[in-house]
Amino acid sequence: MEGDRQDPAPAAPPREHLQLLLRRSREAKNCAYCPYSRFPVGAALLTASGEIFSGCNVENACYSLGVCAERTAIQKAISEGHTSFRAMAIASDMGDTFIVPCGACRQVMREFGTDWDVYLTKADGSYIVKRLEELLPLSFGPEDLKKV
Ligand code: THU
């Protein structure tokens, strides 16, 4: 049913916006605080209004308190008043594998709709793009809470 969708599907970002988004995710990776894993990750989130919020992973000596790059970017955007997102790019140093968000991040992303794009990159800048719906099929979200 159409009513299951939070927002209409946003258009893919124009090419120049996409290049900037990819670059901002790589730049954010350079700020990663990951002395324990030594696995830097950067994320850049494009809002519906065209702004970009970036984030990196921030680890902690109390390991379980570490937060992923994707959630850092989302928390920055939300805390500045943005709740509608068009795309996210994610960067890591992996050369042969596209970086993918962990399950917890997929659920946090999904909170803000299932119709946006996630660009998964390799260190050389090549990428594949997945809809959130593909990354987290059959997901539970805020709409479900209204069904009881
Ligand atoms: N990490 C992210 O920030 N994003 C991902 O997509 C995967 C993993 C972080 C969490 C932790 O700081 C480090 O990478 C190793 O798991």
Confidence (pTM): 0.93
Across the chain, what does the average pLDDT equal? 94
Asked whether the predicted pLDDT for residue 19 surpasses 80, the reply is yes
How many angstroms does the Cα of residue 108 sit away from the middle of ligand 1? 14
Structure tokens at 42: 């950067």
Instruction: Report the candidate in 127, 134, 110, 131 with the shortest Cα–Cα distance to residue 22.
Output: 127
Instruction: Report the candidate in 102, 33, 47 with the shortest Cα–Cα distance to residue 71.
Output: 102
Asked whether the predicted pLDDT for residue 23 surpasses 90, the reply is yes
pLDDT attached to residue 15:
86
pLDDT digits (tens, 9 = 90+) for 71-80: 999 999 999 9
pLDDT attached to residue 8:
53
Lining ligand 1 with CB less than 6 A are: 34, 37, 39, 41, 57, 59, 66, 68-70, 90, 99, 101-102
Return the H-helix or E-strand segment holding 113: none
Name the strands in the sheet holding 127-131, side by side, starting at the edge strand that comes first in the sequence. 52-56, 41-47, 85-92, 117-121, 127-131
Asked whether the predicted pLDDT for residue 4 surpasses 90, the reply is no
pLDDT attached to residue 2:
39
Return the H-helix or E-strand segment holding 105: helix 103-110
